[in-house]
Amino acid sequence: MRSLIIGLLCTAAAFAADATLDGTKIHYESYGKGKEALVFVHGWTCDLTFWRGQAPLYEKHRSLLIDLPGHGQSGKPETAYTMDLFARSIDAVMRDAGVDRATLIGHSMGVPVIYTFFRLFPAKTTGLVLVDGAIPQSYKDEAARENQRKQMAGFLASFKAPNGDTVRAGMVNTMFSAKTTPAMREEIRSKMLAAPAHVAASAMDGMFGAEGPGAGQTFDLPITAIVVANPARAAWEPRLRSVFPKLYKYDAWEGSGHFLMMESPDRFNAALEEFIGTIKRK
């Protein structure tokens, strides 16, 4: 009975709301009260429901879960879905919810999104949690950035082709592991393929066009990373440590898939709670 009462109180403390950015609706869920919060940011073509396994955290801590523009229940106009747009949408939600500062948790594309938020709003950022995603790379100059985008053009155009859903489904299928249950796979595929093709293409383009740290640039900000163990990502940790000397932990999980917060929620929540504790003690 006591757990039921607590559960009802937690549910009552949460509400769904909509902020607005440049005339576009930004849907979000708010939990708890206070000026500092955890902000959960989903990945490419996902939505805020991908964080349902983190309910023990966001029902305990002041938290915001966001549907980025073009995703979930937010507006989906024909526009450029850049990392700057997504970062500004987070700021719009925080202002609407009365939150001044946040530790941001970003999954996949959510990593360059929360890094961009920090770049634009450093005074509002208390920490970053990078979940199987990389901060934007630095380009030598604008010509190099544009060359990268040209190389991606054909791939991005395939999202809008008649077989675009097949192309996207093939990408999604590579993100699973033995820990991703059949029900979970079906949920992930159906939700990711529900995102409009123009959003999928533009958001992917936005990731590759995002502004990364400058040469030799470092930041005095606590961060932590939870990633899938993969030899192809050997350069991720040293790069993070060179940019963020306060990297708390680089936690590489063997045998996990891309959606590790869904596959192993208890382990993920414990790791996140540990990092939150280090920030609160400062």
pTM of the model: 0.93
Range of the domain at 250: 11-280
Among residues 104, 205, 7, which one has the least CA distance to residue 89?
104
Residue 1, pLDDT > 50, answer: no
CATH of the domain at 76: 3.40.50.1820
Cβ atoms 92, 20 nearer than 8 A: yes
Q: List all residues 6 or more positions away from 195 whose beta carbon is below 8 Å from its beta carbon.
A: 45, 70, 71
Per-residue pLDDT tens over the stretch 99-147 = 999 999 999 999 999 999 999 999 999 999 999 999 998 877 778 878 8
Q: Are 54 and 119 in contact (CB under 8 A)?
A: no
In a domain, 1, yes or no: no
The per-residue pLDDT for 134 is 95
In-domain check, residue 97: yes
Q: What is the pLDDT of residues 241-274, one digit of tens each?
A: 999 999 999 999 999 999 999 999 999 999 999 9
Domain-located, residue 176: yes
**DSSP 8-state assignment for residue 111:** H
* Per-residue pLDDT reduced to its tens digit, 180-209: 999 999 999 999 999 999 999 999 999 988
Decide: 75 and 69 in contact? Cβ < 8 Å. yes
Q: Is residue 111 part of a domain?
A: yes
Number of domain units in the chain: 1
Q: Which residues have C-beta within 8 Å of that of residue 120, sequence separation ≥ 6?
A: 84, 87, 88, 91
pLDDT at 281: 60
Q: Does residue 3 lie within any of the structural domains?
A: no
In a domain, residue 6? The reply is no
136, part of any domain: yes
5 is a domain residue: no
Instruction: Give 35-82 pLDDT, tens digit per residue.
Output: 999 999 999 999 999 999 999 999 899 999 999 999 999 999 999 999
